[in-house]
Structure 1
Amino acid sequence: MATIKVKFRPSSVSTKEGVVFYQVIHARVVRQISTGYKLFPSEWDDKTSAVSLFQCPYGRYDYLLSVQKRIEEDTSCLQRIIVRFDRCGRHYTADHVVQAYCSKGENGDFFSFADELIKHMHYAGRERTAETYTTTLNSFMRFFKNRRDLYLDEIDSNLMIAYESYLKSTGLTQNTTSFYMRNLRAVYNRAVDCELTVQRYPFKYVYTGIDKTVKRAVSEKIVRKIRDLDLTLHPSLDYARDMFMFSFYTRGMSFIDMAYLTKKNLQGGILSYRRHKTNQQLFIKWEKPMQAILDKYDTSSSPYLLPIIKNPHTDPRRQYKTATHFVNDKLKKIGRLLDVPVVLTTYVARHAWASIAKSKNISLSVISEAMGHDSENTTRIYLASLDTSLVDKANRLIINLI
């Protein structure tokens, strides 16, 4: 019977990560399977042939845990292959085991391929992409009545048209249906790139564009009302309002960036951080209103600056997502209390900052830099949908002339 061993090969450069690989041993023949899972030497336990999860630095725990789970899944898969070969009673070699392992998912099954792709996205640290693919796959499975017997060669334009009709029947907007279609197309195209199927362009008759959304900015008058609203008797609403205002005070910082701020990000009166979306580093002068929000909450036992990720020892991304839903739900209630003309969410704070800055004739280059956009053109597109009041005034002027 063949055996499996999990090994770690450190990098020749002491400061770089090494790689995990598997050994398949049968009839004294050893074959290797590379995994692409990268670890530092301190993150590997040779005695147990497993990832070391003890005393790992902040920000690495989730990744290390996911690698360990993946290793367990891989070795379990290899063991099942070996058991199957042994039960057949036929002669096989270590090469046969490796070939069977490497060809898993190459049977043309769409859902198996998508599952593998999502796992790889997780292990590559592309959590947001993995989450959007998972959401899309769950939707597609509901349409497919939870069956998993769809082959890549069966994906054609008729199926996608039917799926789009299904999405529309559930009341989704065109932008939302397009979101699902774009993600599904990305997964399909990856399968084409892997030469698991030929390109049949199944998405050519469904909508995959992005419609112009309604403006989500609010005026400075409304922001002031949100700030001054007495929420003493409603602590959960008060907390949501504070997170909204902190985003506004920090030039429309996104909620995910707020969640991952640590106390080390605030040094010498300057708040510095890297945007999750673009990795661009931004610097913000610390102001009194920001400190006033911090002073309301006890985060002395946490490495994080804000009370969003409250337990550093559990999954931070799950805490961030839970907090996002909670805060947005409370902000919607605040919006109804104040009769705000748009649905109030954390993202409205970012739109509001940009819109108000534009109304005060702050230059495009300054707004672009403040918001962390990679170019002024991005900012120009961003601002285009925020405020049409000047166009409306011009139209009224022309009408009054005749």
Structure 2
Amino acid sequence: MNTNIKLSLDTRRKKKDASYPIILRLTHFRKTTSISLGQSVSKEYWDAKNEKIKRAFKGTSSVSKLNNLLLKEKTRAVDIINDLHEKDELDFLSILQLKNKIVKTSSFKSFIEYGKYIIDDLKKAERFGNANTYYAVIKVLEKFTEGNDIKFNEVNYDFLKRFENWHYSRGNSVNALSTYMRTIKAIFNKAIKSDVVTRDAYPFTHYRIKTTPTEKRALDADSIKSIMLLKLKESDSLFHYRNYFLASYMLYGISFMDLAFLKVQNIVDNRLKFQRRKTSKPYDIGVTPQLKEILSFYLSNKDKSDFIFPIIKRGIFELQYKDVLWARKRYNKGLKEIAVKCNIEKRLTSYVSRHSFATQAMLQDVPLQAISSMLGHNRLSTTQVYLKSLPSEILDDYNKKLVEL
């Protein structure tokens, strides 16, 4: 094996108290790097031959315990190296990749801390929606454990069942639990992929994540027409909310987040060209006369770099994201008022335009593959969730035709 690791003093980095950091010195294919262990001693108290602190050292209550801690860190690193060697992976790693595997496994024994690490990474990548999803799970787990830390080895099948029972005891829904569990599962999968934990620690082998069918969200054609024909004054906030809903419907059920970030420069040759923020899927949608009428109201006196709709107010992306979340709350409240004015009994939310588009496309015999592409789904199974059940009135019509044969 071309890899070696030993406990050593980093004599290049003398501290103010004349001590030197104790490190793991990692050698891999004749290249060397160090891994800090957070301890330091002066040269006179370091036994280089036996790789340990001398008994005469007075900087700790127990030299033997400190030496055992250092030895444990070295043993853990050796185990990682041996495991990689047995898997025939060691020789294909750079020294930096090998160091990262050792450091990551050491740093994230805590499930909570690893979750927070993922959240920070997502924020750096400006994926604030996903970051909020992970944040919500970490917060609810901290509430469940009354603020106590959770180690990876503690998140097992029994832990998941106890969390499930606690969740239901508070009157929460099956689908809310499903969201939490899918995120916990995602954290574990990321940890396994990054060699933070082994696959043996995976707690979802026997735990099944349950869901229940959600309320049918799609509107029928008559309801959509009633929203289109609703007379509203331009000074009425509902005027804008109606326009957002219809623009979303006409743009393949675009999400409110994507709608908010549309800029004038996205309109090219009477087409809207943009990328979906969630999946980065590119869109190229022709502007219909009905959509053009809505867009024209918002385009006057705007530069190409301006947002089309008056949703985002600030310049920093993280604050812009918060603008959209706040606006979406007001938008959903406004849609409830629109539903009342249009005599629509179904609950009207920002998601309804997307589900309505998918359902109406299906009823117009648009192929499933095309609907899936228009919605920006990577799998047909995701699209089938949107189209899981036809509206009851459509089924009634089919039943009448069968009865009247």
Answer yes or no: same fold by TM over 0.5: yes
Q: Which residue of 2 aligns with 1:270?
A: 271
Q: How far 1:282 sits from its partner (Å)?
A: 2.0
SS in 2 for 1:346: coil
Q: 1-side partners of 2:380 and 2:192: how far apart? A: 35
2:388 maps to what in 1?
Answer: 384
Q: Does 1:304 align with 2:307?
A: yes
Are 2:173 and 1:244 equivalent residues in the alignment?
A: no
Offset, 1:27: 6.0
Q: What residue identity is the alignment partner of 2:184? A: L
Amino acid at match of 1:239: H
The aligned residue for residue 170 of structure 1 is: 170
Query: Structure 1 residues 144, 376: CA separation in 2 closer, same or farther (over 3 Å shift)?
Result: closer
Amino acid at match of 1:155: V
- Per the alignment, residue 74 of structure 1 pairs with none
Task: Name whichever of 209-218 and 392-401 sits farther off.
Answer: 392-401
The alignment status of 1:329 with 2:333, answered yes or no, reads yes
Cα shift at 1:392: 4.0
Q: Give, as a single letter, the amino acid of the residue that structure 1 aligns with 2:36.
A: Q
Distance in 2, Cα, partners of 1:149 & 1:180: 18
| Corresponding letter in the other structure for 2:241 | A
Shift in alpha-carbon separation, 1:92–1:126, aligned structure 2, 3 A: same
CA contact (8 A) 2:260 2:324 kept: yes
Matched, 1:256 2:257: yes
Equivalenced residues, count: 320
> In the alignment, which of 317, 324, 339 is matched to residue 321 of structure 2?
317
Distance in 2, Cα, partners of 1:239 & 1:155: 47
TM-score by length of structure 1 reads 0.68
1:99 aligns to 2:36 (yes or no): yes
CA distance in 2, matches of 1:210, 1:295: 42
Structure 1, unaligned runs of 5 or more: 1-25, 30-81
Change (3 A) 1:213 1:299: farther
Report the residue type matching 1:165 in the other structure.
N
Q: TM-score, normalised by structure 2?
A: 0.68
Q: Which residue of 2 aligns with 1:214?
A: 215
Answer yes or no: is the 8 Å Cα contact 2:271–2:287 preserved in 1.
yes
In structure 2, the CA distance between the partners of 1:178 and 1:293, relative to structure 1 (3 Å rule), is same
- CA shift, 1:204, in A, is 5.1
One-letter amino acid matched to 2:335: L
- Larger-gyration structure (1/2): 2
- One-letter identity of the residue aligned with 1:143: F
CA distance in 2, matches of 1:175, 1:166: 15
Aligned-partner SS, 2:158: helix
* Aligned amino acid, residue 340 of structure 1: I
Against the structure 1 CA distance between its residues 125 and 293, is the aligned structure 2 distance closer, same or farther, given a 3 Å change threshold? same
* Contact in 2 for aligned 1:164/1:206 (Cα 8 Å): no
Gap change, CA 1:271 and 1:170, over 3 Å in 2: same
Tell me, what secondary structure is at the counterpart of 1:92? Answer: strand
Kindly provide the CA deviation profile for residues 131-171 of structure 1, in whole angstroms up to 9, marking residues without a partner as x.
Answer: 211111111112222x1432222222222112112222333
User: C-alpha displacement at 1:363, in angstroms?
Assistant: 4.1
Which residue of the partner structure matches residue 73 of structure 2? none
- Which residue matches 1:5? none
**2:242–2:335 contact (8 Å) kept in structure 1:** yes
Cα distance, 1:317 vs structure 2: 1.6
Q: Which amino acid aligns with 1:338?
A: C
2:284 maps to 1:355? no
Q: 1:375 to 1:93 in 2, by over 3 A?
A: closer
The alpha-carbon distance between structure 1 residues 317 and 108, as it changes in their structure 2 partners (threshold 3 A), is same
Q: Distance in 1 between matches of 2:379 and 2:203?
A: 34
Match of 2:20, SS? Answer: coil
AA in 1 matched with 2:239: D
Question: Contact between 1:299 and 1:307, CA under 8 Å: does it hold in 2?
Answer: no
Counterparts in 2 of 1:206 and 1:95: CA distance versus 1, 3 Å = closer
**In structure 1, distance between residues paired with 2:155 and 2:381:** 37
| 1:290 aligned onto 2:279 | no
Aligned to 2:143: 142
Relative to structure 1, the CA distance from residue 333 to residue 284 in structure 2 (aligned partners, 3 Å threshold; closer, same or farther) is same
Question: For the residues of structure 1 that align with 2:392 and 2:187, how far apart are their CA atoms?
Answer: 37
The 3 A distance-change label for structure 1 pair 295 and 395 is: closer
Q: Which runs of 5+ in 2 are unaligned?
A: 1-9, 26-33, 39-99
CA contact (8 A) 2:108 2:196 kept: no
CA distance in 2, matches of 1:170, 1:225: 40
Identical aligned residues as a percent:
27
Quickly say closer, same or farther: Cα 1:379–1:204, change in 2 above 3 A: closer
**Which residue matches 1:66?**
none
8 Å Cα contact 1:364-1:376 kept in structure 2: yes
Greater Cα shift, 332-341 or 156-165: 332-341
Q: 1:211 to 1:98 in 2, by over 3 A?
A: same
Q: Equivalents in 2 of 1:178, 1:137: separation in Å?
A: 15
- 1:321 Cα offset (Å): 1.8
Q: Distance in 2 between matches of 1:143 and 1:383?
A: 35
Higher mean alpha-carbon deviation, 104-113 vs 262-271, is at: 104-113
**Contact 1:257–1:276 (CA<8 Å) still a contact in 2?**
yes
1:86 Cα deviation after fit: 5.7
Tell me if the contact between 1:27 and 1:93 (Cα under 8 Å) persists in the aligned partners.
no
CA contact (8 A) 2:314 2:320 kept: yes
The aligned counterpart of 2:61 is none
Give the secondary-structure state (helix, strand or coil) at the position aligned to 2:253: coil
> Residue in 2 aligned with 1:123?
124
